[in-house]
Every structure is written in C-alpha cells, then in structure tokens.
Amino acid sequence: DDYVWIVDPIDGTANFASGLNLCGVTIAVVDKKTNKALIGVIYDPHREEMFVAVDGRGAYCNQKPIQSNNNASLLQDTIINAGCPADPNAFAASMRGASALNSKCRGLRVIACSALTLAWIASNRLGAHFGYDLSSWDLVAGALIIREAGGKITNINGSPYDVQTRSMLATTKSCSGGVHDEILQVLKEADAVSFERTN
C-alpha cells in the first residue's frame, strides 16, 4: 500500500510491432509518501541486457556497475536522441529542437524507445535524449538508472525532474554540466520547450 509499481511491458510498441529490435520492458517502484523512485529496471530482450538501479546503491547492467560518463564534454561531440511523440504539436516541438541541434552536435538519432535511450545514456552509448509528452512508465525507471549512474535528467524547461515530469532532457555525467545547459538553451531558442496538446 505504500508503493506504486509502474510497468511498461513493451516500451517502443510500434518498433516491436514492426519487427524492429528497439523495444524493452520497464519496471519502477515508487514510494507513495515521498513520490520518489526506489527501484528502476529496464530489460532489453534482444541484447539480453538488464539495467537496474536501486536508490542510493548505484546502477548496473547485467550485474556490472555502470557510470554515465562518455567523455563528450562538448555539444559538438555529443550524439543526441530526439523524441518522436504521437501528439502532432509535441512532434513539431521535437522537430524544431532536432533541427536547431543538428548542426551543433555530433549526430542526431530518433530511436523511438525512451527506455532504451535512457539505459544507453546511463551506459555511455548516447550523450543525450530529449523527449516530449511521455508517460511515467516511459521515464521513471530510466531516470533513476541515469541518476544512479551519475548522469542528469531535468524537465525540458530546465526545472527539476520528478515522477510527474512528461517532457525531459537526460544527459551523461560528462554532459551534465555545460552541455546539458547548452542543449536546454538551444531548445529554448528554437521554441522547443513547450507545446499545447492537440486533444
């Protein structure tokens, strides 16, 4: 009764339905009193990788400690994943952000699976990921894994991340200072930090 389980049995559903190996399972446990994630798990069945974090105890991939530090301390050296939201206005904001960042970073990707991109930031495969109009089951487990691996996650407007956050920017430890702030500034200047839902 004191905890909430947040589960997404298939994150990256469209990828899965199309036969793309870019999907995973997410599980998080949140303390109802503090609204804080205590456990986060992301499982990639295609690569047989299990990413796990327990609040205050670090992050692991297949039981080996991971640190989110890919040494890309400049935006021009950072590979960034852009979100691919279903809402047309959120998608337009994401594309404005992608267009603005394209010439400033090492490269852009659109993987369309927040679980994997967050796990890959925690394990140094990507430098950053920004996404819009996400649900708690997309973010909570990955946010804890990134935090425990030493990375940074905030709301896309720069305010602190919490389990209610729906649009976010996540970066590796090496990007978590100046690069994180620089990406936020580029997104702000591109009018890509807010949108009005189409509903």
- pLDDT, one tens digit per residue, over 37-65 is 999 999 999 999 999 999 999 999 999 99
- pLDDT, one tens digit per residue, over 139-176 is 999 999 999 999 999 999 999 999 999 999 999 987 76
Q: How many whole angstroms separate alpha carbon 97 and alpha carbon 102?
A: 8
- pLDDT, one tens digit per residue, over 109-123 is 999 999 999 999 999
pLDDT, mean over the chain: 94
Do residues 191 and 97 make contact, with C-beta atoms less than 8 angstroms apart?
no
pLDDT of residue 176: 65
Confidence of residue 73 (pLDDT cuts 50, 70, 90): confident
Percentage of the chain surpassing pLDDT 90? 91
33: part of which helix (H) or strand (E)? none
Do residues 170 and 156 make contact, with C-beta atoms less than 8 angstroms apart?
no
178: part of which helix (H) or strand (E)? helix 178-189
Find the DSSP H helices in 23-159. 88-102, 114-122, 136-149
Predicted model pTM: 0.95
Strand order in the sheet with 128-131: 107-109, 79-82, 128-131, 168-171, 152-155
pLDDT of residue 19: 97
Confidence of residue 1 (pLDDT cuts 50, 70, 90): confident
Given a cut of 80, whether residue 128 has pLDDT beyond it is: yes
